[in-house]
Each structure stands twice: as structure tokens, then as C-alpha cells.
Structure 1
Amino acid sequence: MKEIEKQLKETIRQIVEFRTDYISNEQAVRTQLIEPILNVLGWITCNPKFVRPNATDENGKIPDYTLLKNGKTTLIVEAKNLSIDLQDKKIIDQLANYCFKSGIDFGLLTNGVKWLLFKTFEKNPKDRIVWQVDIETDKIEYVARSLSSFAYSNIDTLDILLKKSKLLNNGWKALIESTDSIVAIISQKLLEKIKSTEPLFEITPDDLKTFTKGKIEELFELTEIEEGEKANENGSTQTETGFAEGEDVIFKRHQKNKIREKISVTFPDKTVIKNKKVVVTFVETIKKIGPEKVLPLNLYRSGVAIVSEIKDDFYNQHKIGKYWIMVHASTKEKIAVLNEINEKLNLKLTIESFTNE
């Protein structure tokens, strides 16, 4: 897995540096982006026992790559340059036709950045998409695990791997949707831990519940801030994967598909801050306003200053320069804080909420 991640990082670096080349040059995409990834997955592109590029099949069709194991075609890969919309029905139908006539179960569509695996013989088109990844915007661990599902060593058991992932994912969704139960369990464990070190310390059930809920939300939101900043430093922007929704594998977070309230903030200069992660929008808005302007307002939540020059050891904060921004709050509380800042500083912001549906 480490080798795959290493190659993905190198591929991302190349995309950032030579993006204009890959927009129109499919051959460059194939040799510089796609083939190195196929090689690290065990598909030796220079060996016809493993990979046959542009090989005419028995039906006279010419797929970009035919992947073979023990002399048998196991996967067909169709490559495109970055300017091509991979959601184009004609492109998907073309690959599906190759796979159907070859009698193989899976096909792979990619432009080197986005990769889509689909099942050939599913009746419902919506059920054909097995997974879709974007190596620039999705977590590198998730991308590596998704791509490794069709590695040379795994291709024989791909169906089993995907079924296992689906069962685990469905079970995880059912568990996550029982939010109250999870909060109760974690709160109890947290209380036991506190009592083991501070037996006389009193803490209310409501405090435990509020803290636990906030921590669970942060697990799905807070870590995305640093990744977004790293992407921006590399000249890329955080965007949602453009493929149609299909079956998620276990490694993709349930929260990506869960309907959650988001925030959009529009400044008088027409700047819009709108991220799929509420915590990112919240922090970036305060950053643009200027934490030094918010600090004198003395805004607090859960007894902690929204903006402070001192780090709090109990609640999660994000650092902007010398300031610490308290992000341990629900979406509604974050909206309320932004509205309060807007009113007190007379910023004339437009603060709106929306969902990801």
C-alpha cells in the first residue's frame, strides 16, 4: 500500500506541474499518469502477458488497455485526457460495450486524475458504478485502497472484495445512523475514564453528551482543513468528485453521502466562502474577516472564546497566525456566531445554509 501511495503523490505532483499538457494530450496522460499507476498495481505495462495497449479484440474493437492474467482478459481500461467529461454517457456506453462483448465483469474509465470502476452486467445503470475516486481531492489512503482492489494480485477475488466492502459499509451506515446510541456509549466510556483519574470530579450528562457529539463531528470535519490548505498550496482546489454516486467501499466515509447542513458566506466584494465542510467555511470566514477584529467582541461558546491568543487543552481549535479559533460547536452554533460577528462589525455579509442534496 505504501508503494501505491508513493506513486500517487508523485502523480499528483506531475498533474499540478504539467496540467496544461494533460488537458489535450491523451498520450501524455496514458504514459505519464495512468501507466505508472498500473505498474505499481502489478500490471506490467511493457509486458504483453499483463497489458496489451490498443489491441484489437475478437469483435474488432480497440480498447486502450486490455489487462490479462494467465492469458485471460480480466479488465478493460479506457483512457481520456483531462478535458473529457468522464460522465458522458457515450464514453461509458463505449467501454460497457467493450466489456459486454468480451464477457468480462468490470471496466475501468480514467483520465489519470479521476478513476471509475463499474460492473458490466448490472441491469440498473445507477448500480453499475462500483466506486469513483479523484486522486487530487480524495484522501490518498482511500484512493490507494480503492485502486488496489483491481491490483494484479486481487483481480481474481475482486467480486468478493467488493461484496465484503459493501456489507461492511452498510453495517457501518446503520451504526452511524444510530447517533444517540453511539453518543451514549462513548459518553459512558468517557465518564469511566474521567472517574478513574478524578473520582470526585462532577460532570453533568449534558456536558458529556455535548462534548461527545462535537468530537464525533470533528472526526469527520476538522482534519479536512489541513488537507484543503495543502491542496491550495499545490495550486489545486478542493472539489467534489464529478462521477455519479454509486456503491461506496468501506474506506469512503459515510459522512460524504449523509445529508448535512452547510454554510455559504458571501462578502460585499462578492467573495464567496462555501466548502463541503462546515468547519472549513467557518474558519476561512473568520480568517478573511480578521481574527484580530473578532477577538475584541469577546464571543464565547461552551465557556471558550471563539477567538483567543491562548490554546485551550480541552476543546479543538484551529490556528490562524497567533490566534486560536474554537471550532467545537454545532453547525447552528457556527451560523449563530457568524451572524453575531456580522451584526457587531456591520460587515453586511450574506450568510446562508444549504444541504448537500
Structure 2
Amino acid sequence: MDELRRAVLNVIRKIRSHRELYVKNEEAVKQHLIGEIFQALGWDWNNPEEVRPEERTEDGRADYALILNGGVFAYVEAKNLGVNILKREEPLRQLARYCFNSGVRYGILTNGAMWIAVKAFEEGSRLRDRVLLTVNVEEEPVEKAVLKLSILSKSRIDDIERLSSLLRAMELSFIGLKREGYPEKMLIEYLTSKEGSNTVPVEDLTGDETPKAAYVYDSGWKLLPLPEKSIKGVLLAVLLYMERRAQGYQREEIRKAYEHLRTMPLNPKTALEILRKLEEEEKLRISVEL
């Protein structure tokens, strides 16, 4: 996912710096934006056994054909950035015709920033009902866009219908529970908590506990190695985590604080107070497994 995340961020930077170019020039969109995303998704963009440009169909030429297991799995149709593919119907209908006339089940429409994956045909359904996923890398949170785009990776695309259905079900459930009054933080912790573990947020600790493990939320819950199984050990683990993230003078100051606290006796309740202060000042989320 890290490579895809870097590619998405790079595409966003390119669009912001050269928007006028991509609005006017479809070829630039293909070479600078679409190719970078697909390569990060694991497709060998210059290998005709995986990607074929200008694939002929009965209804015209598709910009690309994605090859999987020796056959065309999906057509990719590119537009310039000036075409709002999320609102205009014709580009999606054009792609669907390419797919239908060639018996290709899936299509991907993109202008570099917006992406639509569609199931090209299904009896008794409308085209928009067959859209499997939509992504807008400029307007959505990066992690959300990366997760959705990952379904188009070479290793996952064969399961595109099931994965997109699971993702949509999760989104609808999350939205529904929020509307019922459940806090977002509670829902995220429910989804990310480990089976069978007794994990408690720092704010709910009393200072009398003996921690088995500590976690910090950083695009998901990350386990922090404990120097010792105590509240002080949790504090030291958090300081080491902060040191790794910091730079320059701030990093040196955190190291000094760590060395100072490591060698001195520290009351558990005092250590807990420091942890809570760090959570508030550094915008951290810390939990402890008991």
C-alpha cells in the first residue's frame, strides 16, 4: 500500500502544479498520471503481456486493455482532466460499448484524478447500477482513495466485485451506525481491536494496572515494544515512538526526556498524567492491553 500511497500523493502534486496541461492534454494524463497509478498497482505498464495500448474493438479503440491469465480482463478508457467523468454519462457509455461488443466484463474510466470501475453488462440492470467503485483522489482523504484504488491492483482485480461489495457494505454500516448516535472513535476502535484482547484507552486507566502491551494509532493501531510492563514502560514506549517521528532539535529534546525518565523512579499515576498530557498536546491516541 505504501507504494500506491506515494503514487497517489505524487499524482495530486502533479495535478496541482500542471492542471492546465492535464485539462488540455489527454496524452499527458496517460503518461504522467494513469501510468504511475497502474504501475503502483502492480501492472507492468510497458509489458504487452499485461497492458496493451490502443486495443481495437468493434466500436473503436480502447486506450488500454489489461491482460490477466492470457485474456483481456478490463478495458481502460482515458480522458483529459477537463472531462468530469463522475457527472458525464457518455464517456462511461462509450467504455461500456467497447466492453460489451468484445465480451470484456469490466471497464475502468479515468481522467487521472477521477476513477470509475464498472461491470460492463448484466441483464436487467442500468449502467450506473453496475458501477463497482468511484474514486476522486483530489477530493477524498488519501487513505480512502488508496484503499479503493487497491482493488484495481493486479493481485486483487480478479476479485473486484466481491471486494467492492465488501467495501461498500462496510461504508454503509459505518454511516448507519454513526446516524444512530455511535461515536466515530468508538466504531474505529471496535473495527481495529484485536480479538480476545482487553485494550483500554489511556484516558480510562487509573494507574493501578499492569500493561501487557501498548498501542498508538498511526493509520491503524501500531504495537509499541514495552521496555517494562508498567505505566512508566508505556510512557517510555510512547516517547521512543515520538522520537522516531521527530526531527532535529525536537528529536534531541525527546531523547533527553526519555533518558531522564528512564533512570528515575516514577509513580504510575504521575506517568499516567504525562501520557494524558502527551495525548492532548501531540494529538495522539494511546491504548493499553491489560
- Asked whether the two chains share a fold, i.e. TM above 0.5, the reply is yes
Is residue 2:104 matched to residue 1:84?
Answer: no
Is residue 2:127 matched to residue 1:118?
Answer: no
Query: C-alpha separation between the residues in 2 aligned to 1:183 and 1:12?
Result: 28
- Quick check: 2:132–2:165 contact (8 Å CA) kept in 1? no
**What is aligned with 2:3?**
3
- How many aligned positions are there? 205
Change in 2 beyond 3 A, CA 1:44/1:172: same
> Offset at 1:99?
1.6
Structure 1 residues 297-336: aligned runs within 5 Å = none
- Quick check: 2:116–2:133 contact (8 Å CA) kept in 1? yes
Please list every run of 5 or more consecutive structure 2 residues that lacks an aligned counterpart in the other structure: 190-198, 209-276, 282-290
Q: Deviations over 1:10-31 (max 9, x none)?
A: 2122212221111111111111
Query: C-alpha separation between the residues in 2 aligned to 1:196 and 1:175?
Result: 30
> Offset at 1:165?
1.9
SS where residue 132 of structure 2 aligns?
A: strand
Is residue 2:67 matched to residue 1:65?
Answer: no
Change in 2 beyond 3 A, CA 1:48/1:167: same
Matched residue type, 2:35? E
> Offset at 1:191?
11
Q: Deviations over 1:281-302 (max 9, x none)?
A: xxxxxxxxxxxxxxxxxxxxxx
Q: Deviations over 1:82-133 (max 9, x none)?
A: 1223222221110111122222332111111111122222513442222222
Change in 2 beyond 3 A, CA 1:153/1:181: closer
Change in 2 beyond 3 A, CA 1:176/1:104: farther
Change in 2 beyond 3 A, CA 1:180/1:69: closer
**What is aligned with 1:246?**
none
Change in 2 beyond 3 A, CA 1:166/1:8: closer
Matched residue type, 1:146? K
TM-score (normalised: structure 1) = 0.50
- Quick check: 2:62–2:77 contact (8 Å CA) kept in 1? yes
> Offset at 1:176?
2.4
**What is aligned with 1:171?**
173
SS where residue 74 of structure 2 aligns?
A: strand
SS where residue 12 of structure 1 aligns?
A: helix
> Offset at 1:192?
11
Partner of residue 134 from structure 1, selected from 133, 136, 149: 136
- Quick check: 2:100–2:121 contact (8 Å CA) kept in 1? yes
SS where residue 149 of structure 1 aligns?
A: helix
Is residue 2:92 matched to residue 1:98?
Answer: no
Change in 2 beyond 3 A, CA 1:44/1:83: same
Change in 2 beyond 3 A, CA 1:61/1:171: same
Q: Deviations over 1:120-151 (max 9, x none)?
A: 22513442222222212211111111111011
Matched residue type, 2:54? N
- Quick check: 2:178–2:184 contact (8 Å CA) kept in 1? yes
Query: C-alpha separation between the residues in 2 aligned to 1:16 and 1:167?
Result: 33
Change in 2 beyond 3 A, CA 1:184/1:3: closer
Query: C-alpha separation between the residues in 2 aligned to 1:118 and 1:184?
Result: 33
Matched residue type, 1:76? Y
Is residue 2:28 matched to residue 1:41?
Answer: no
**What is aligned with 2:252?**
none
Root-mean-square deviation (CA), in Å? 3.5
Is residue 2:123 matched to residue 1:158?
Answer: no
SS where residue 84 of structure 1 aligns?
A: coil
Q: Percent identity among equivalent residues?
A: 31
Change in 2 beyond 3 A, CA 1:172/1:62: same
